[in-house]
Amino acid sequence: MSFKTGIILLSILSCLWTISGCSGKRHISTPITIDKNAITDVVYGNNNDWKGNSTSLTMDIYSPPVMQEGKKYPLVLFIHGGGYLTGDKKSASDKCSILADSGFIAVSIDYRLGWDKGTGQCNGNTYELENAGYRAIQDANAALRFLVSEADKYSIDTNWIFLSGSSAGAITAICATYLDDNNIKAYYPASANALGSLVSASNNLTNKYSIKGISSISGGIPDTNLIRTGKVVPAILFHGALDETVPPEYGHFYSCANYPYISGGISVYRTIARKNVPVIAHILTDAGHGHDGESGYSDEYKMSETANFFHNLIQKSPQPSGIFYSTSKN
């Protein structure tokens, strides 16, 4: 069965029952469980994991419930969290379903996980942690090249490509936007020497693309100078003010002095805002680190706000920039 034929059949079936929309609630709510137009386990690349074992890299592709013949749709690539140790693409199914309902081709990827975290809070192997983050960026770039190469098959508008992620996935999304082979060695020279190119690993595709926006849930970037000196990309950011895993301002990953330095959502917001590029930040003043529905913002709220932000960029009528503080009780 072809992709488009499958979509038509699934669209007919979706009309046989009622699908509830986004509730608009800001905080934690019951997870959505909706059958979507999803193609699962699509292979986009292959590479060795942290133990040297060859690993196939796969993605799930979610499409709008009803698609117009010949129309192309904007793409959101979502990258799950889990500290580069745990998680998988299925954990983002609810988020991708909401984005697909909002008119996007939404894709969730598996990427290479694993590093020696040790037995205590700060006893992990720092070099292996940096390598894990590096591999994640390599795989995200490989997934984007694959999707661009298959844009006609999956009805993707390559003029509008967005990245989103939670926790380690959000860090990966921001880093994939601002880090490349020209600047990566200034931050992770050992990883670059050991693992090779940041932008041509995990498959042999050479397709080009441009990221038009980012949605970050509890994410950050190694250095905001990367934003100041690069092509600034609009962003919508969600972060807990009490986050000790990815500090909202700046600090170290897991709040461990021996782990990589990172600037969180508030720092990213301020840096982008100074460049007069559209940026919105939602900060929960009484929340710590959280992702996949645990940060105090429901998936419906985060992804609906993300979809609205991206759609406004597409329509060239971006929302006014601003940082919004609230509590989990609001």
Q: Consecutive sets of 10 residues in the chain, 330 residues long: mean pLDDT of each?
A: 42 33 36 61 97 97 94 98 96 96 98 94 95 98 98 98 97 97 94 96 97 97 91 96 95 95 97 97 90 65 97 96 86
Per-residue confidence (pLDDT) for residue 234, from 0 to 100:
98
Nearest CA-CA partner of 73 in 156, 146, 148: 156
Per-residue confidence (pLDDT) for residue 230, from 0 to 100:
77
Q: What is the domain class of 3-15+34-326 according to CATH?
A: alpha beta
Per-residue confidence (pLDDT) for residue 228, from 0 to 100:
87
pTM of this structure: 0.88
Task: Collect all residues with Cβ–Cβ distance below 8 Å to 239 and sequence separation of at least 6.
Answer: 216, 217, 218, 219, 246, 248, 264, 265, 266, 281, 282, 283, 284, 295
Distance CA 236, CA 216 (A): 6
- With residue 240 as reference, give the H or E element that holds it: strand 235-240
DSSP 32: P
Per-residue confidence (pLDDT) for residue 329, from 0 to 100:
66
Note whether 205 and 142 are within 8 A (CB): yes
